[in-house]
Protein backbone atom coordinates (compact mmCIF):
# COMPACT_ATOMS: atom_id res chain seq x y z
CA UNK A 1 0.00 0.00 0.00
CA UNK A 2 1.18 3.52 -0.78
CA UNK A 3 2.39 5.60 2.16
CA UNK A 4 0.83 8.64 0.50
CA UNK A 5 -2.86 8.71 1.34
CA UNK A 6 -3.76 11.53 -1.00
CA UNK A 7 -2.03 13.24 -3.88
CA UNK A 8 -3.45 16.09 -5.94
CA UNK A 9 -1.40 17.35 -8.87
CA UNK A 10 -2.48 20.35 -10.95
CA UNK A 11 -6.13 19.75 -10.10
CA UNK A 12 -8.15 22.57 -11.62
CA UNK A 13 -11.81 23.30 -10.97
CA UNK A 14 -13.48 26.10 -12.92
CA UNK A 15 -16.64 27.89 -11.86
CA UNK A 16 -18.15 30.96 -13.53
CA UNK A 17 -16.65 33.31 -10.97
CA UNK A 18 -13.64 31.35 -9.68
CA UNK A 19 -10.89 28.96 -10.81
CA UNK A 20 -9.44 26.75 -8.10
CA UNK A 21 -6.13 24.94 -8.35
CA UNK A 22 -5.06 22.26 -5.88
CA UNK A 23 -1.68 20.63 -5.33
CA UNK A 24 -0.85 18.63 -2.22
CA UNK A 25 0.42 15.34 -0.80
CA UNK A 26 -0.87 13.91 2.45
CA UNK A 27 1.03 11.02 4.07
CA UNK A 28 -1.08 8.08 5.27
CA UNK A 29 -2.19 7.94 8.88
CA UNK A 30 -2.39 11.66 9.54
CA UNK A 31 -5.14 13.90 10.87
CA UNK A 32 -5.06 16.99 8.67
CA UNK A 33 -7.09 20.12 9.44
CA UNK A 34 -8.35 21.93 6.33
CA UNK A 35 -8.78 25.62 7.07
CA UNK A 36 -9.22 28.92 5.25
CA UNK A 37 -11.67 31.78 4.96
CA UNK A 38 -15.19 31.32 3.67
CA UNK A 39 -15.04 30.84 -0.10
CA UNK A 40 -11.37 29.79 -0.12
CA UNK A 41 -12.22 26.39 -1.60
CA UNK A 42 -12.43 23.90 1.26
CA UNK A 43 -15.71 22.28 0.24
CA UNK A 44 -14.65 22.17 -3.40
CA UNK A 45 -11.44 20.40 -2.38
CA UNK A 46 -13.49 17.76 -0.55
CA UNK A 47 -15.91 17.42 -3.47
CA UNK A 48 -13.00 16.75 -5.82
CA UNK A 49 -11.53 14.11 -3.50
CA UNK A 50 -14.89 12.41 -2.87
CA UNK A 51 -15.83 12.50 -6.57
CA UNK A 52 -18.82 14.88 -6.35
CA UNK A 53 -17.00 17.45 -8.49
CA UNK A 54 -15.11 16.64 -11.69
CA UNK A 55 -11.95 18.70 -12.18
CA UNK A 56 -11.20 20.29 -15.52
CA UNK A 57 -7.73 18.77 -15.43
CA UNK A 58 -5.19 17.28 -13.05
CA UNK A 59 -4.52 14.08 -11.19
CA UNK A 60 -6.31 12.87 -8.05
CA UNK A 61 -4.81 9.78 -6.40
CA UNK A 62 -5.87 8.05 -3.22
CA UNK A 63 -3.37 5.54 -1.84
CA UNK A 64 -1.63 5.64 -5.20
CA UNK A 65 -4.76 4.82 -7.22
CA UNK A 66 -5.94 7.16 -9.96
CA UNK A 67 -9.51 8.32 -9.18
CA UNK A 68 -10.32 9.47 -12.73
CA UNK A 69 -13.72 8.09 -13.72
CA UNK A 70 -14.40 6.59 -10.28
CA UNK A 71 -17.86 7.44 -8.92
CA UNK A 72 -18.14 8.65 -5.28
CA UNK A 73 -19.35 5.24 -4.06
CA UNK A 74 -16.39 3.51 -5.72
CA UNK A 75 -13.76 5.63 -3.96
CA UNK A 76 -12.00 4.48 -0.77
CA UNK A 77 -13.49 7.46 1.06
CA UNK A 78 -16.14 8.17 3.70
CA UNK A 79 -17.56 11.66 4.19
CA UNK A 80 -19.34 13.14 7.19
CA UNK A 81 -21.01 16.50 6.66
CA UNK A 82 -22.01 19.15 9.16
CA UNK A 83 -25.61 17.89 9.15
CA UNK A 84 -28.03 15.74 7.16
CA UNK A 85 -25.88 12.63 7.12
CA UNK A 86 -28.76 10.32 8.05
CA UNK A 87 -31.97 9.12 6.43
CA UNK A 88 -34.71 10.43 8.72
CA UNK A 89 -37.15 7.60 7.94
CA UNK A 90 -34.65 4.81 8.69
CA UNK A 91 -33.82 3.86 12.25
CA UNK A 92 -30.32 4.28 13.67
CA UNK A 93 -29.31 0.64 13.12
CA UNK A 94 -30.38 0.82 9.45
CA UNK A 95 -28.51 4.10 8.97
CA UNK A 96 -25.33 2.44 10.24
CA UNK A 97 -26.09 -0.79 8.36
CA UNK A 98 -26.11 1.13 5.06
CA UNK A 99 -22.37 1.48 5.56
CA UNK A 100 -22.03 -2.32 5.29
CA UNK A 101 -24.73 -3.07 2.72
CA UNK A 102 -26.39 -0.30 0.68
CA UNK A 103 -29.30 -2.70 0.05
CA UNK A 104 -29.53 -3.33 3.81
CA UNK A 105 -29.01 -7.08 3.47
CA UNK A 106 -27.76 -7.63 6.99
CA UNK A 107 -27.26 -11.06 8.53
CA UNK A 108 -26.52 -11.73 12.20
CA UNK A 109 -22.79 -11.00 11.79
CA UNK A 110 -23.50 -7.63 10.14
CA UNK A 111 -26.10 -6.70 12.75
CA UNK A 112 -23.55 -7.51 15.46
CA UNK A 113 -21.06 -5.22 13.69
CA UNK A 114 -23.65 -2.42 13.71
CA UNK A 115 -24.31 -2.92 17.43
CA UNK A 116 -20.58 -2.91 18.19
CA UNK A 117 -20.07 0.32 16.24
CA UNK A 118 -22.98 1.98 18.05
CA UNK A 119 -21.56 0.87 21.39
CA UNK A 120 -18.16 2.24 20.37
CA UNK A 121 -19.61 5.71 19.82
CA UNK A 122 -21.57 5.55 23.09
CA UNK A 123 -24.97 4.75 21.53
CA UNK A 124 -25.61 1.16 22.64
CA UNK A 125 -29.35 0.51 22.62
CA UNK A 126 -30.12 3.39 20.21
CA UNK A 127 -30.58 1.09 17.17
CA UNK A 128 -34.38 1.37 17.05
CA UNK A 129 -34.52 5.17 17.36
CA UNK A 130 -35.26 7.46 14.41
CA UNK A 131 -32.78 10.28 13.68
CA UNK A 132 -35.24 13.16 14.34
CA UNK A 133 -35.54 11.95 17.96
CA UNK A 134 -31.76 12.29 18.54
CA UNK A 135 -29.69 15.31 19.59
CA UNK A 136 -27.30 16.85 17.05
CA UNK A 137 -24.32 15.25 18.79
CA UNK A 138 -26.00 11.83 18.80
CA UNK A 139 -26.76 12.11 15.08
CA UNK A 140 -23.11 12.92 14.36
CA UNK A 141 -22.05 9.89 16.39
CA UNK A 142 -24.39 7.69 14.31
CA UNK A 143 -22.71 9.10 11.18
CA UNK A 144 -19.35 8.26 12.71
CA UNK A 145 -20.52 4.70 13.50
CA UNK A 146 -21.51 4.29 9.84
CA UNK A 147 -18.10 5.56 8.72
CA UNK A 148 -16.50 3.06 11.13
CA UNK A 149 -18.26 0.01 9.66
CA UNK A 150 -17.21 1.10 6.16
CA UNK A 151 -13.51 0.97 7.09
CA UNK A 152 -12.45 3.31 4.28
CA UNK A 153 -8.83 4.43 4.55
CA UNK A 154 -9.68 8.11 3.98
CA UNK A 155 -12.26 9.93 6.11
CA UNK A 156 -13.38 13.44 5.14
CA UNK A 157 -15.04 15.44 7.91
CA UNK A 158 -16.74 18.60 6.65
CA UNK A 159 -17.19 20.72 9.77
CA UNK A 160 -18.58 17.77 11.74
CA UNK A 161 -18.77 19.75 14.99
CA UNK A 162 -20.14 23.01 13.62
CA UNK A 163 -23.70 22.48 14.82
CA UNK A 164 -22.63 21.24 18.28
CA UNK A 165 -22.19 23.10 21.55
CA UNK A 166 -18.65 23.34 23.03
CA UNK A 167 -19.07 20.33 25.36
CA UNK A 168 -20.25 18.08 22.55
CA UNK A 169 -17.56 19.41 20.22
CA UNK A 170 -14.91 18.35 22.64
CA UNK A 171 -16.55 14.91 23.09
CA UNK A 172 -16.67 14.37 19.31
CA UNK A 173 -13.07 15.51 18.97
CA UNK A 174 -11.93 12.96 21.56
CA UNK A 175 -13.96 10.21 19.92
CA UNK A 176 -12.50 10.94 16.50
CA UNK A 177 -8.98 11.00 17.96
CA UNK A 178 -9.55 7.61 19.64
CA UNK A 179 -11.06 6.04 16.52
CA UNK A 180 -8.21 7.34 14.42
CA UNK A 181 -5.74 5.63 16.74
CA UNK A 182 -7.65 2.36 16.47
CA UNK A 183 -8.18 2.48 12.69
CA UNK A 184 -4.93 4.11 11.58
CA UNK A 185 -6.89 5.83 8.82
CA UNK A 186 -6.17 9.23 7.27
CA UNK A 187 -8.54 12.04 8.23
CA UNK A 188 -9.06 15.41 6.56
CA UNK A 189 -11.23 17.71 8.62
CA UNK A 190 -12.58 21.11 7.56
CA UNK A 191 -12.79 23.43 10.51
CA UNK A 192 -13.15 27.13 11.32
CA UNK A 193 -11.91 26.59 14.88
CA UNK A 194 -8.25 26.99 15.83
CA UNK A 195 -8.99 24.77 18.87
CA UNK A 196 -9.84 21.82 16.61
CA UNK A 197 -6.55 22.36 14.82
CA UNK A 198 -4.51 22.56 18.02
CA UNK A 199 -6.17 19.65 19.82
CA UNK A 200 -6.68 17.12 17.03
CA UNK A 201 -4.60 17.75 13.91
CA UNK A 202 -1.05 16.68 13.02
CA UNK A 203 -0.87 19.19 10.19
CA UNK A 204 -2.87 21.92 8.47
CA UNK A 205 -3.78 22.42 4.82
CA UNK A 206 -4.54 26.10 4.55
CA UNK A 207 -6.47 27.53 1.59
CA UNK A 208 -6.66 31.06 0.32
CA UNK A 209 -8.53 32.17 -2.81
CA UNK A 210 -8.78 28.72 -4.32
CA UNK A 211 -5.17 27.65 -3.69
CA UNK A 212 -3.51 25.53 -1.01
CA UNK A 213 -1.07 28.13 0.31
CA UNK A 214 0.35 26.12 3.22
CA UNK A 215 0.66 22.53 4.37
CA UNK A 216 2.50 22.67 7.67
CA UNK A 217 3.02 20.48 10.69
CA UNK A 218 0.96 21.84 13.51
CA UNK A 219 3.80 23.37 15.54
CA UNK A 220 5.12 25.26 12.52
CA UNK A 221 1.64 26.40 11.50
CA UNK A 222 0.91 27.88 14.93
CA UNK A 223 4.15 29.86 14.79
CA UNK A 224 3.47 31.39 11.36
CA UNK A 225 2.99 35.13 11.14
CA UNK A 226 3.81 35.63 7.44
CA UNK A 227 0.40 35.23 5.82
CA UNK A 228 -2.48 37.58 6.62
CA UNK A 229 -5.11 34.89 6.05
CA UNK A 230 -3.41 32.55 8.57
CA UNK A 231 -3.06 35.39 11.08
CA UNK A 232 -6.77 36.07 10.75
CA UNK A 233 -7.59 32.38 11.25
CA UNK A 234 -5.38 32.11 14.34
CA UNK A 235 -6.63 35.42 15.76
CA UNK A 236 -3.13 36.93 15.71
CA UNK A 237 -4.30 40.30 14.44
Ligand X SMILES: Nc1ncnc2c1ncn2[C@@H]1O[C@H](COP(=O)(O)OP(=O)(O)OP(=O)(O)O)[C@@H](O)[C@H]1O
Binds ligand X (CB under 6 A): choice among 10, 15, 101, 125? 15
Q: Are 210 and 19 in contact (CB under 8 A)?
A: yes
Q: Which stretch binds ligand X (CB under 6 A): 33-41, 61-69, 148-156, 176-184?
A: 33-41
Which H or E run contains 233?
helix 228-234
Q: Is 19 or 174 the residue whose CB approaches ligand X more closely?
A: 19
- Minimum distance between the CB of residue 39 and ligand X, rounded to whole angstroms? 4
Q: For residue 85, state whether it binds ligand X (rule: CB under 6 A).
A: no
Q: Report the residue from 2, 4, 43, 82 that binds ligand X according to the rule CB under 6 A.
A: 43
CB of 231 to ligand X, least distance (A): 17
Spatial CA neighbour of 18 closest among 69, 53, 59, 65? 53
Q: Give 133 or 231: the residue with its C-beta nearer to ligand X.
A: 231
Asked whether position 124 contacts ligand X by CB under 6 A, the answer is no
Counting every residue, how long is the chain?
A: 237
Yes or no: say if 137 and 168 are a contact pair by the CB < 8 Å rule. yes
Q: Which stretch binds ligand X (CB under 6 A): 41-49, 61-69, 96-104, 131-139?
A: 41-49
87 is an interface residue for ligand X by CB under 6 A: no
**Selected binder of ligand X within 27, 39, 58, 76 (CB under 6 A):** 39
Question: Applying CB under 6 A, does 14 fall inside the site for ligand X?
Answer: no
Q: What is the smallest separation between the CB atom of 208 and ligand X, expressed in angstroms?
A: 10
Q: 9, 10, 14, 18: which one contacts ligand X (CB under 6 A)?
A: 18
Could you list the beta-strand ranges (E) of 15-90: 19-27, 31-36, 57-62, 65-66, 77-80
Closest CA to 54 of 110, 11, 9, 106: 11
Segment near ligand X (CB under 6 A), from 42-50, 75-83, 118-126, 196-204?
A: 42-50
Phi, psi of 100 (to 5 degrees): -95, -45
- How far CA 176 is from CA of 35, 53, 89, 173, 187, in Å, comes to 18, 26, 26, 5, 9
Please list, in sequence order, all residues whose beta carbon lies within 8 angstroms of the beta carbon of residue 216, skipping any fewer than 6 positions away. Answer: 203, 204, 206, 224
Work out the number of other CB atoms within 10 angstroms of the CB of residue 2. 14
Asked if 41 interacts with ligand X (CB under 6 A), we say yes
At its nearest, how many Å lie between ligand X and the CB of residue 189?
A: 13
Which residues of this chain interact with ligand X, rule CB under 6 A? Answer: 15-18, 36, 38-44
Amino acid sequence: MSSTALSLKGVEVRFETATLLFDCEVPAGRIVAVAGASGSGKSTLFNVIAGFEQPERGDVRILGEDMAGRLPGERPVSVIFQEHNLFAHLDVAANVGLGISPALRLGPAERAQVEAALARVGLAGFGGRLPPTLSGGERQRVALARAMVRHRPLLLLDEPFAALDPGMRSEMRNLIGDLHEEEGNTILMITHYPDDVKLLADSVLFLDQGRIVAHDDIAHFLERRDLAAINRFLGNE
